Amino acid sequence: MAEHRPSYEELMQRVQELEVKARQYEEVNRALQKLNHQTREEAQKLEQRVVANVEDLVLPYVDRLKETSLDPDQRVYLNVVESNLSELLAPFMRQLGSKYANLTLREIEVANLVRMGTTSKEIARMLGISKRAVEFHRDRLRKKLGLKKTKRNLRAYLASLT
């Protein structure tokens, strides 16, 4: 049997078919990329809402509980709750730490508390340091974040990072 060799016209038709398929695949790829981007944005928004809700609706009560007289078991449970909530809020701290790798661990802690609206006096009590030390860390944060000679509010700037 003789082998069929495609004609020039058949080859050109096949090339055109392949070009159409290639364009279709490019369109599908663009659509998938857009969908992927939208999904990431939605996930980020959801994460921000969860963090904001935990900070606004849960942490104030945890702080109030810490100021009450608790028995040792209750204190352990409260520490576990606080630790687990910290894990939920960790993405902000990772983002801040990765974006500004020159921040110390203490500066990241202070930044997180400032972002939540905690006063310097409250931060000092929570971290077991002096109010002056907190003010020092706030000043260092402003310098490292490029806010030193601007009128930008540190809390508002930190809140905008999430």
Contacts of 154 (CB under 8 A, 6+ apart): 114, 138, 141, 142, 145, 147
The answer to whether residue 47 is domain-embedded is no
Domain span including residue 133: 52-160
The answer to whether residue 69 is domain-embedded is yes
The answer to whether residue 128 is domain-embedded is yes
Contacts of 85 (CB under 8 A, 6+ apart): 54, 58, 59, 62
The answer to whether residue 153 is domain-embedded is yes
Question: How many domains does one find in the chain?
Answer: 1
The answer to whether residue 43 is domain-embedded is no
Q: What is the tens place of the pLDDT at every residue in 1-22?
A: 668 888 999 999 999 999 999 9
The answer to whether residue 137 is domain-embedded is yes
Q: What is the tens place of the pLDDT at every residue in 33-55?
A: 999 999 888 877 777 777 777 77
Distance CA 90, CA 137 (A): 20
Report how far apart, in Å, the C-alpha atoms of 146 and of each of 11, 98, 100, 120, 142 are.
Answer: 63, 16, 11, 20, 6
Q: What is the tens place of the pLDDT at every residue in 100-150?
A: 667 887 888 888 888 878 889 988 888 889 999 999 999 999 998 888 888
Locus of tokens 């701290």: 93
